[in-house]
Structure 1
Amino acid sequence: MTSLSDRQLGKRQRQELMAELKGLKRFCLSLTGSDADADDLLQCTVERLLERGIPDDAHTARWAYRVCKNLWIDELRSREVRTRHANTVAQTGEARELSPSAETQSAGERSLAAVNEAMAKLPEEQRMALTLVAVEGKSYAEAAEILDVPIGTIMSRIARARKQLLPALD
């Protein structure tokens, strides 16, 4: 059994995590599509890393991105369960439509909004791969390790994402 002190991050790991926070925040934003959700996801990711630690032999940044991705998948699943439950309870009522927040509608310049919209239309796997490589500057090998898929899968996801984005941004 490991004690709490065994699970805490070492000085090197803390420094590496701090250096990666900006990139991790952008990754959170690409997953969630909302500043508020991205902030929450980033906070949950850092809390999880501080609570449970990072294995000594693990690459800190890759571990952090993987934890972040897994937390987001968990959040999506729990939202789906909550939505299903709410729909079951309110079957007699009208279906609720989710509208974009005022923050989302007013955020950024037109070109940034167009990119965000086009990225949001990508399948999640393509969006994550493209964000890690094109936005975060990770190598294909690093992205493959973070997403736990073969490097060829990363390459094909990025190629399909770019092919889908070009017409949307022209």
Structure 2
Amino acid sequence: MDIDAALVHIPRLRRYARALVGDAARADDLVQDTLERACQKWALWRPPTAATADQVQAALRGWLLTLMHNLFANQWRQAARQRTIDWNETREPGHDPTSGLGLRLDLERALALLAPQSREVLLLVGMEQYSYAETAEMLGIPVGTVMSRLARAREQLRRLMEGEAPAPVTLKAVK
């Protein structure tokens, strides 16, 4: 198998990246970074033994999504060290009674307000239709953590879609 096999996964990578970062340009950058990393690390990828072509493609897709997750997490941690986010700055002024209506109904904005760890799990399970076990393997976390993050993400997303203000987020630098 060669690196060209990864090219068929670009549409799915783009969709996941777009939902993850919420911006088309940044999503394309993340996909490009992921594919560059895949090219650099191609020798490390091992297809499953005695697998069908579909199983090999599924394993490759999972590997690429894992690379993307790791790149996104590294970029997010690096940005967190450089600044803290004040979600009140992103809210629209309160003088117009209908100004918040668009925000409450906009799923993309609501997803952007979720913590990155919650958003990743929600997107992998909800949008990409991966099982809890597959998601746990891709993100390198226990299945129970996937389930609890997913439950919290769904609840927070429900609240955001109903118009509740997002809870303030404090970012910590991970050393």
Q: Same fold (TM over 0.5)?
A: yes
Unaligned runs of 5+ in 2: 49-58, 92-101, 163-175
2:148 corresponds in structure 1 to 156
Are 2:123 and 1:131 aligned?
yes
2:171 corresponds in structure 1 to none
Post-superposition offset of 1:83: 5.6
1:94 corresponds in structure 2 to none
Post-superposition offset of 1:80: 4.5
Are 2:4 and 1:14 aligned?
yes
- Counterpart of 2:157, as a letter, is L
Work out the CA distance in 1 between the residues paired with 2:17 and 2:37.
Answer: 15
Which residue, 139, 142, 145 being the options, matches 2:137? 145
Figure out how many residues of one structure are paired with residues of the other and give that number.
Answer: 137
Which residue, 9, 13, 35 being the options, matches 2:24? 35
Indicate if the aligned counterparts of 2:105 and 2:161 stay in contact, CA closer than 8 A.
no
Give the RMSD, CA atoms, in angstroms. 2.7
Mapping for residues 61-72 of structure 1, pairs under 5 Å: 61-72=61-72
Work out the CA distance in 2 between the residues paired with 1:14 and 1:140.
Answer: 29
Post-superposition offset of 1:40: 0.5
Post-superposition offset of 1:113: 6.7
1:169 corresponds in structure 2 to 161
Bigger share in helix: 1
Moved more, 22-31 or 157-166: 22-31
Mapping for residues 45-124 of structure 1, pairs under 5 Å: 45-53=34-42, 54-57=44-47, 59-80=59-80, 114-124=106-116
- Counterpart of 2:63, as a letter, is W
Between the aligned residues of both structures, percent identity stands at: 32
Indicate if the aligned counterparts of 2:121 and 2:149 stay in contact, CA closer than 8 A.
yes
- Flag the structure with more relative contact order, 1 or 2, with Cα contacts below 8 A and sequence separation at least 6: 2
- Counterpart of 2:122, as a letter, is L
1:25 corresponds in structure 2 to 14
